[in-house]
Amino acid sequence: MMLREDAVRISLLGMEMYPYGLCCAIGAACALAAAGVVCRVRKTRPGTASLACLLCLVLGIVCSRLAFCLLDQEFGSMIPFSAWFLADRGGWSLFGAIGGVLLGAWLSARITGEKPARILDAASVGMCLFIVAERLAEGRIDGFNISRSLPEGTRVGGFFIVKDAYDLSYLATYRIAAAFAAVLFLVLAFSMLRGRRQDGDTWIQFLILGGAGGILLESLRYDGFLEFSFVRFQQVLAAVMLVWGLVLAARRSGRHGKGFVSGVTAVLVLAVGICIGIEFALDRTSLSHVLLYVVMAAAVAVPVVFGFILLRRNNLTEGQNHS
């Protein structure tokens, strides 16, 4: 996320700030509050929630900036290292922030002796609220996080469509991403409240669903952000989230046989191969983009369903052991 020189600023309590920064600050406050509530409900050790909030906030900011500086080709090759510390004009990676928050949650648990999975659950629920605010804030920057222009003559409107000065229509992918994060928050929150849930289930679900959604949403955008050739680095990070979640779900299920590992690997390789092929086809063929994205969604859905089956089987096994 880079802010333009002429980006709109607002004055609040005598301080000048960008609307993007204000929205992110509000989102961070909501995220910390939600994580604190989850920690209280889960009855974590005294001081753990406070330390987790501090580390998640600091490491989220640091990792977000670091990921941008390392992955942005123009910034990394043309800007001196000293500029890495000058973030007042923007330069952030959402997936870098996610990694920093999860790292902060894990470190706080290790320091206080709490179960890491319990704090990671809380951080994942709170992170969804931050993503909602951050994605909506992206709409304050012209041309950022929108799709390819829709075909001329397309007569569409609504919340998920924006138009430019030439009356061309685009999908407002930042709004789609915000809506997805809001739904993900509800899914995770309700899943924590219903039935017997193990510590760690929530953040594994966050990795699986957030990673799968990120793969699709990053493909939809067409703004060149953190992109090299046809490779979208944030899409790669989303894929890492999905794979990470599947690995954790498989480990939790206790199934480590050679055939099982081969099956998981085959599913992932097939899904990745299909997604890469579709990315090429989007720009190099005349095939319907709607059809291509339907195929991509189906390919990504397979490992998601696989991961949830593993979690469900593990919960059923644990329930039988406790009965």
Show contacts of 40-44: CB within 8 Å, 24+ apart: 42/118, 42/121, 42/122, 42/199, 44/114, 44/118, 44/119, 44/122
Query: How many CA atoms within 13 Å lie on the side-chain side of 60?
Result: 25
Decide: 180 and 171 in contact? Cβ < 8 Å. Answer: no
- Asked whether residue 174 carries a pLDDT value surpassing 90, the answer given is yes
H helices of 113-160, where? 116-138
| 128 lies in some domain | yes
Contact 191, 202 (CB under 8 A): yes
Give the whole-angstrom CA distance, residue 304 versus residue 104: 26
Q: What pLDDT does residue 133 have? A: 96
- Position 145, amino acid: N
Residue 95 lies in a domain: yes
Domain-located, residue 91: yes
pLDDT range class, residue 269, cuts 50, 70, 90: confident
Q: Report how far Cα 90 is from the mean position of its chain's Cα atoms.
A: 19
Q: What single letter denotes the amino acid at residue 127?
A: M
Higher pLDDT, 199 or 135: 135
Q: For 290-310, what is each residue's pLDDT tens digit?
A: 899 999 999 999 999 988 888
Average pLDDT, the chain: 84
* Counts for the chain of helices (H) and strands (E), in that order: 10, 6
Q: Is 90 helix (H, G, I), strand (E, B) or coil?
A: strand
| C-alpha to C-alpha distance for 29 and 33, rounded to whole angstroms | 6
The verdict on residue 185 lying in a domain is no
Displacement of CA 267 from its chain's centroid (Å): 22
**Interior/surface letters 120-132, b for 16+ CB within 10 angstroms, e for the rest:** bbbbbbbbbbbbb
| 5 band by pLDDT with thresholds 50, 70 and 90 | very low
Domain count, the chain: 1
Q: Is residue 236 part of a domain?
A: no
Is 261 part of a structural domain of the chain?
A: no
Residues 13, 81 contacting (CB under 8 angstroms): no
R_g (Cα) of the chain, nearest Å: 20
Q: Determine, yes or no, domain membership for 303.
A: no
At residue 73, what are phi and psi to the nearest 5 degrees?
A: -65, -45
Domain that residue 27 falls in: 1-141
> Taking Cα atoms as reference points, which of 178, 177, 179, 145 lies closest to residue 162?
145
Classify residue 259: in a domain, yes or no: no
Given a cut of 90, whether residue 84 has pLDDT beyond it is no
> What average pLDDT does range 103-108 have in this prediction?
96
pLDDT in tens, 243-256: 999 989 888 876 65
